[in-house]
Amino acid sequence: DGRLTFYPGNQTVELPFINFMKRHGTIFLNAYTNSPICCPSRAAMWSGLFTHLTESWNNFKGLDPDYVTWMDLMQKHGYHTQKYGKLDYTSGHHSVSNRVEAWTRDVDFLLRQEGRPMVNLTGDRRHVRVMEADWRNTDKAVAWIREEAINLTQPFALYLGLNLPHPYPSPYAGENFGSSTFLTSPYWLEKVMYEAIKIPKWSSLSEMHPVDYYSSYTKNCTGQFTKKEVKNIRAFYYAMCAETDAMLGEVISALRDTGLLKETIVIFTSDHGELAMEHRQFYKMSMYEGSSHVPLLVMGPGIKEQQQISNLVSLVDIYPTMLDIAGIPVPQNLSGYSLIPLLQGKAEEEVSPRGPRPSWVLSEFHGCNVNASTYMLRTDKWKYIAYSDGHSVLPQLFDLSADPDELTNIAVKFPETVNSLDKILRSVVNYPKVSSYVQEYNKKQFISWKQSLGQNYSAVIANLRWHQDWLKKPKKYEKAIDEWL
């Protein structure tokens, strides 16, 4: 969560290695994902292109498998490249449920797609390695630095992708139940300052924006939650951030011990944030800060130390930045801009050949748990969120300087601002057209999936992750799908 955990002056959890990077490098205070879900956001990061350009519509549909990423280009230009851990930019290999939920979001029904979020404490005070898969990948990356990188005669690019901090799939009901367990051990939980955790304000269900209500419902968050439950979910999430920080620490320590740290640029970022019960939601898929705002820290030779940058940047900027670092010519058609001038502390006037960096960032979402394509334009103090075709769902406007918690939608109050931001948004993306394209795509995908099942369709669709709701009135829900088709 870019806003809560990595903001300067945060008092909630100790993150020693994030702080090490802040001291020895640059932190971007306003970095955003270009799509707040794993696969599409990674597609943007590895391609340097906005989501609607690569057509990375959901967690199953990302970049084409043969897409040339920045790492492919670095390898072509003499870099030794190495990847470990979670990549997820061509397809998230997510379950059938994830796919069907994304395709059927335009159907006129409300079904719970997730398990209710909960916490689980495991092990004792000696239990350090809770997320074992991430630790295995961290060990591999560290071994590679200590045994291979140190002997290379060519420059290297190493990528390590972690799952943490991310809720775990609920263990008790297979893929048909949601991913909703915040899991940690006493070792990490003790690093969280429990009394510093704020409980977010919630709007009443009746006051919620209709898309927010749909999201809260499908995420199983519309029921009653005690203050203690909400605080625990947030505390466990922070503990998972602390475990992530320790993995970053292993990489930094390996670079330091081998003498490589002084000649290596280190970038720490994330594909999206975690709402952790802000706005009565967990997970991501939302344009609220907790979900769309990401950490971005960079340190290394030539990068200004103890620098805080408030310029708006986003994950599409990673691609041109990596090419810039490697001295590879940056293609002109990218959505992103190199961060190198900012990182070196250069004035905005010293711009790239493409002209100045825009004063806005774009994020968009077309996947599950949200029943309309969503487009977010962030400028100086404004966040403008438009939906679908631009008129059938009301937009949202937040003044982040006056309302950092995004509790008051002032779109009706400021029609001129909405108009001018909508104009900018439409100059970047013809969003009504993209939304209708996604609707067609969803329908086509669903039909071919349905046909592939033949006689089994009714049984399969009834037993996806929404089975507990579906099985109460299977005929009603099947009929809703038929009407949609």
Contacting residues for 133 by C-beta, under 8 A, at least 6 apart? 163
Taking the CA atoms of the chain, what radius of gyration do you get in angstroms? 22
- Helix/strand/coil for 83: strand
Q: Is 241 a catalytic residue?
A: no
Cβ atoms of residues 46 and 336 within 8 Å: no
Cβ atoms within 10 Å, residue 310: 9
CA atoms within 13 A on the CB side of 30: 20
Give the closest residue to 74 by CA, choosing from 44, 46, 38, 54: 46
Could you say which of 38, 39, 221, 368 is catalytic? Answer: 38
At 298, give phi and psi (nearest 5°).
-140, 135
Q: What would the DSSP string read from start to end of 269-335?
A: E-S----TTGGG--SS-S-SHHHHEE-EEEESTTPPTTEEEEEEEEGGGHHHHHHHHHTPPPPTT-S
Q: Which residue has the tokens 């997970």?
A: 283
Cβ atoms of residues 335 and 319 within 8 Å: no
Q: How far apart are CA 40 and CA 58, in angstroms?
A: 6
Q: How far apart are CA 250 and CA 135, in angstroms?
A: 10
Its sign, for the CA torsion 452, 456, 458, 463, is negative
Number of H helices, E strands in the chain: 18, 14
Token digits of residue 407:
């509790």
- Active site positions, annotated: 38
